[in-house]
Amino acid sequence: MIQQENNKSPYIQYYALIFIFTHWLFFCGKEAFLKFISYFFGKFGKFTIFVSMNYKETQHEFIQLWGSLGTNWGINKAMAQIHALLLSVENPISTDEIMEELKFSRSNTNLNVRALMDWGLVYKKHILGDRKEYFVAEKDMWEVAFKIIRERRRREIEPVGKELKELAGFSATTFEEKNFKLVLENITEVTEKLNSFAGTLEKLDKLNIMKWLIKS
C-alpha cells in the first residue's frame, strides 16, 4: 500500500510543474518562452561552450539574459539587470558596487532598487559599522515566482478586470452594440478566471502546498 502511494508522488510533481508552467505562459506569454529558448541556444549553442565559461562570463551573460526577459514579466531592463546581479552574488552589495558593475547612474540605480524592494524581490541589509546601504536578493526561486505572480495580479489583472467590467455594463440596443457587449463580457470572464487562478496560487503559496508538491 505504501509502495503504491510512493509511486504516485512523481506524477503529482509533474502535474504541479505543468501547473506552474501553464501559469507562466499565461502571464509572460509564448513570446517570452520562445525568446528565452532562442537566446539560450543562440548564445551558447552547444553545452560544452556553456561549461567552459568562467564565473564572470556566466554572470555577465545571465545579467544580459535576465535583462532581456524582464520586460516580459512586468519590469524594465535596468531593474531586471540589477535583480540578476544581486542573484548572482553571495554577499550583500552596495549602491556604489551596483553602479560600478552595471555602469548605471546613481539615480537610475536607486530608482530601480527601490522598485525591486516594492516587488519584494530585494531586501535592504545593514552591516554593522558601515553607513552604506547594502542589498540582497530573494534567492528562493519559488518565492520569487509567487511574488511576481502576486504583483502582476495586483498591478495588471485586477485593475484591468475592474475597468473591463465597468465597460461591459453599457446599455446595448443594436445588433452591433450587443455583439461588442458580448466581446467585452467574454474578455471580462477570462480576466476574472485568470485573477481567480492567480489567487489560488497565492493561497497555495501561503500554505506552502505548491512548494511541497514540487520539492517533495
Alpha carbons within 13 A on the beta-carbon side of 91:
4
What is the model's pLDDT at position 206? Answer: 61
CA–CA dist 150, 216 (Å, integer): 24
2-137 CATH pick, 3.40.190.10, 1.10.10.10, 3.60.10.10, 1.10.3720.10:
1.10.10.10
Confidence (pLDDT) at 114: 96
The pLDDT of residue 15: 47
pLDDT profile of the chain (216 residues), mean per 10: 42 49 55 57 50 84 90 86 95 96 96 95 90 92 84 84 90 93 92 82 63 54
In whole angstroms, give the CA distance from residue 75 to residue 119: 10
Domain boundaries, the chain: 2-137, 141-215
What pLDDT, on a 0 to 100 scale, did the predictor assign at position 194?
82
- pTM over cut 0.85: no
Cβ atoms 137, 87 nearer than 8 A: yes
The DSSP-derived string for 117-129 is: HHHTSEEEE--TT
Read off the DSSP letter of residue 72. Answer: G
pLDDT given for residue 21 in this prediction? 55
Q: What is the pLDDT of residues 39-90, one digit of tens each?
A: 555 554 544 445 567 889 999 999 999 998 887 777 899 999 999 999 999 9
pLDDT of residue 186: 93
For position 213, what pLDDT does the model report?
53
The letter for the amino acid at 131 is R
CA 155 – CA 142 distance, rounded (Å): 20
- The amino acid at 90: E
- Which pLDDT does position 59 carry in this prediction? 92
> What pLDDT sits at residue 12?
46
